[in-house]
Structure 1
Amino acid sequence: MNISGAWHLTTVVLVEAGIQDILIANQIVDPVKIERLTQLPLKSKITVCVDCKENIDKLSEIAKKNGVVLFCLIEFDLGMSRCGVDTFEEVLELAKIINSSDNLELEGIQAYAGHNSHIPDKEKREETAINLENKIANLKKYLNDNNIKVNQIP
């Protein structure tokens, strides 16, 4: 899908709307919801965020049972303390687990910095944004140095 420059649809609700490339910008951990999720790839490429081994294992198990491949973005916490892993080493560990699965494919890293938009001072906000961009670039380099390919960082 590429409408006016959009290359992904980000949603928090599972929908079947004829969209061929869906990014679910949250973790799907309930086995019933994962089961429903694995029915969608018959029509669409589905990418989900993950931030723990248990979730990756459950996604892999159900995807394998249903004969589908799910794409994963590893959620990396940039300071919101809402979800995601905190260290480069944790990202690497999860990437290796995903890459060892026959039914999961590492798509990249999800690194959301929504908290930055609430910094009222423009110069401080820009400085923080540059620091976060550098952190993401360093993470990508770290993964590449450890033979982990990162396709995207939305």
Structure 2
Amino acid sequence: MTSPTTEEVWDWLSEVPDPEIPVISVTELGIVREVRREGDTLVVAVTPTYSGCPATAVIDLEIEAKLREKGVTDLRLERRLSPPWTTDWIASEARDKLRRYGIAPPVEGTASGGLMAARAARLAGSSNLSVACPRCGSARTEKVSQYGSTPCKAAYRCTDCLEPFDYFKCI
């Protein structure tokens, strides 16, 4: 088999679902940072959503399995921790998929400010980030817990439709 192009590899990786949120791929999540060749070796750089993410090993296995299925034999996965992953890297299509799946996507632009953005909101008297309900679209929501179904999500509920939902935290 001839060596696949990096574009082909990106296409293949777009078929690898995130194990915790299978409606989006690892490329849409923005954790695949680079695909390159070093001689005959295909190198895929992956940045975990955070350094302690329990899904990181599964993601690596799924990426390797997909590429081996496509005939790649000489492969190396790199864990890239710098720059750290941010929710700003989530593709806009993935944000829509999260909503349709029942998960509120990260509020855009809040990750760039990180802790300072959260501190500024507290100083302004806001105790809750305005998170729209992914089910009915209402902005009348409240945080139930900082911790949701996975470490990267918080538990919210809508005060209009009364449905609980996960919010993908800004990182």
Q: Shorter-normalised TM-score: what interval?
A: under 0.3
TM-score (norm 1): 0.27
Choose between structure 1 and 2: higher helix proportion.
1
- When normalised by structure 2's length, the TM-score is 0.25
Larger radius of gyration: 2
Q: Which has the higher strand share?
A: 2
